[in-house]
Amino acid sequence: MPVFDFHCHPTLKPRFVKKGEEPSPWVYLDVKYKVGKIFGNEIKISINKLVNEVLNSQSNLSQMCGRVNLIGLILHAPESNIGRGLLERKMVSDGKLDLLNTTKLKVIQQGDHYFKWMTAELQSLKDNLLPPADATDLPANAQFKIINHGSEFNEAATNTIHGVLIVEGLHCFFNNPDSINAFDEFYQNFNSFTDANKIFAVNITHLQSMPFANHASGMQFLNEGYFFPKKDSISDRGVEVIDHIHSKNILIDIKHLGLISRTKFYSIRSQKNYTQPIICTHAGLTGISMQERLNYFRDEVTDKGEVWEINHLKKLGHVPFSAFNMTSINLYDEDIVQILESDGLIGISLDQRILGYPTEHVAYRWNVYPYDNEFISRHETKAFFGTDNPRALPVNEKAENTLNGDDALNQEPISEMAHAHYFMNHIIHILIVAKKNGIPYNKVKTMICIGSDFDGLINAIDSCKDATQFEDFKDTIRSICDDNLFWQDTTFAKNEIDLEELLDLVFYHNGVNFVKKHL
C-alpha cells in the first residue's frame, strides 16, 4: 500500500545551492565536503556519519515515486537567521560543502526577499513536474502533480506523486517584515498568491520571531539566541490575519506556535465560531497536560534576559524503550483534544528529538538524567509559569517515571527498534487521551497520520531514515507490537486494537480521506 505524508520538503534543500545551479527535486543530494586537490583533481568525502545524514535527501521526488502518492508539499523561505547561523559554522563558511553555497546564504541572511524565495521554490517545482531524462529506477511515466481539489487525486496512479500546497510560516508572504510598508506588501502578496494557487494550509509562524505570533522554541543546531521566542502570544495583527486565512478557507497548522499563542488561538476559534478543523502536520507530544508542565524541571529556571531557559526531564512513555520530549513546541493533552474535537488531523514527526529520543545532549553518558531544553519569552512569564518569579519554582532533579542515564544508554545499541517504540508511543498516547476525554476509538483511529518532515533539517529516526523505508518501518512496528509486554502499560489489550487496520489508516487512508474531504 502507498503512503501519505502530511509534511515533507522535496524542494527545500535545492534552495541553498548556488543560484542557477539548483538541482532538480528528483535528484538525490549526497552531500560532500571538499578536502583539497591531488594532481589538480578536487577530492571530496562524504559527511553522512558526521551529521547523521541530515543534509542528504530524505524525500526527493525519486525517493517517493511509487511509494508515496499524496503529500503535503511544504513551501518555505528559510529565515534570515538560518543563513546567519549557517555562515557562522566553519564547515559552511569556508565554502567546502557542496550543498550550502555561501553567496546564497548571504542573500538569505538579508531577510528582505521571503516572498521572492517562496515563489521561486514553487516555480522550480512547476518546472520539474517530470523527472530528468536520465533518471533511472522510476515507474513508467513518473510525475509530480499539484492538486487543487480532492477529486483530482487518482489513487490508481501509483506513478504519480500528488501534492497539496502548505506554506510553513506567514513570513513567506513578506518581502521585508521590517519595512515601512511591510503589512501592505504582505496582504498584497498573500492575496495574489492564494488567488493563483490553492493553498491547503499555513503555519502562522516558524522558528524566528515574526510579527503575527510568538513561536515555540525549536532551534537546536545553530546559535540559539537568534531563534529566541521574544514576543507575547498572538498580536492584534495576528488575529486579523487569522480571520483572513479562515475567510479564504485555508486550514491553520498549529505546529511552531508557542503554547500561549496556541491557547489564544483556541480562544479566538471559540469566540468566532470557526468550524474549520485544526491540524498539526508534523507533531510531537509532551505526554502530559498543560497543568503538569511545571512538574518536571530538571534545574532551576535560568534568566537569559529576553527569555527564560528551562531544562525538562523526560517522562517515560507508555511502551518500553520510550519517553517524551516535554518542551512546549510539542502538543499537550489539551492540544490533542482541541484537534480531535475539531475533526482535525495529527501528523507524527519522524524527527528523533521531537519524538523524545535523547539524542541532543550527552550528559546522560555520565549517568546524569537526560533533558530537553527550551526558552520562554519574558513577555509570557506569568502566562507560562503562573508566577512573575519562575526562578523560585521547585526543581525535580530525579523525578520518578522519568528517563535516567542508564535507560538512555541501554537504548543506543537497539536505536532502530527503540525509535519505533517512540513513534508508537505517540500513537498510543493520542488513543489514551481520546479515551480519557470520551472520544471513541473508532473516531480517533482515523485522525492520526505520518508527517515526516523529511528534507527539512531533521535527524530522522533510524528505523525510517527516508521515504524509501516506510514499508520496512511498518515491519519494524509489527515486530515490536507482537510482544505482549509492549501493551502492558498502555491501557489497551493487544487484541483490542487491530494493528494492521491501524497502520493502514495511519500510513495512508487517514491523510487521503482528510485531503479529499477538505481540499
274-304 per-position pLDDT tens digit: 999 999 999 999 999 999 999 999 999 999 9
Is pLDDT larger for residue 85 or for residue 348? 348
Provide mean pLDDT across the span 511-518.
98
Is pLDDT larger for residue 455 or for residue 38? 455
pLDDT of residue 128: 96
Among the residue ranges 48-62, 96-110, 485-499, the one predicted with the least confidence is 48-62
Does 504 have pLDDT greater than 90? yes
Nearest to 47 by CA among 6, 9, 100: 100
Percent of the chain scoring above 90 in pLDDT: 77
pLDDT of residue 236: 96
Ordered by where they begin, the domains of the chain are: 3-14+59-83+112-518 (3.20.20.140)
Does 42 have pLDDT greater than 80? no
Measured in Å, how far apart are the chain's first and last C-alpha atoms?
Answer: 22
Is pLDDT larger for residue 86 or for residue 378? 378
Helix, strand and coil content of the chain, in percent to the nearest 5, comes to 40, 15, 45
Q: Contact, 349 vs 329, CB < 8 A?
A: no
Does 365 have pLDDT greater than 80? no
Count of beta carbons in the 10 Å neighbourhood of residue 125: 21
Under 8 Å CB-to-CB from 313, ≥6 apart: which residues? 296, 297, 298, 326, 369, 370, 371, 396, 399, 402, 403
Distance CA 195, CA 511 (A): 25
pLDDT of residue 46: 62
Q: How far is CA 2 from the centre of its chain?
A: 21
pLDDT of residue 358: 86
Provide mean pLDDT across the span 469-485.
95
Enumerate the H helices of 60-101 as residue ranges. 61-64, 80-87, 90-93
Provide mean pLDDT across the span 315-323.
95
Crossing angle of helices 259-272 and 236-247, in 10° steps, is 50
Q: Contact, 314 vs 324, CB < 8 A?
A: yes
pLDDT in tens, 145-172: 999 999 999 999 999 999 999 999 999 9
pLDDT of residue 366: 55
DSSP for 300-318, please give it. --EE-SSEEEEEE--BB-S
pLDDT level of residue 54 (50, 70, 90 thresholds)? confident
Q: Contact, 337 vs 427, CB < 8 A?
A: no
Does 43 have pLDDT greater than 90? no
Among the residue ranges 38-52, 56-70, 76-90, 103-117, the one predicted with the least confidence is 38-52
What burial class does residue 151 get, using C-beta atoms within 10 Å of its C-beta: 0-12 exposed, 13-18 middle, 19+ buried? exposed
Query: Chain-wide mean pLDDT for the chain?
Result: 92
Does 40 have pLDDT greater than 60? no
Q: Contact, 390 vs 301, CB < 8 A?
A: yes
What is the DSSP pairing of strand 199-203 with strand 251-253? parallel
Does 489 have pLDDT greater than 60? yes
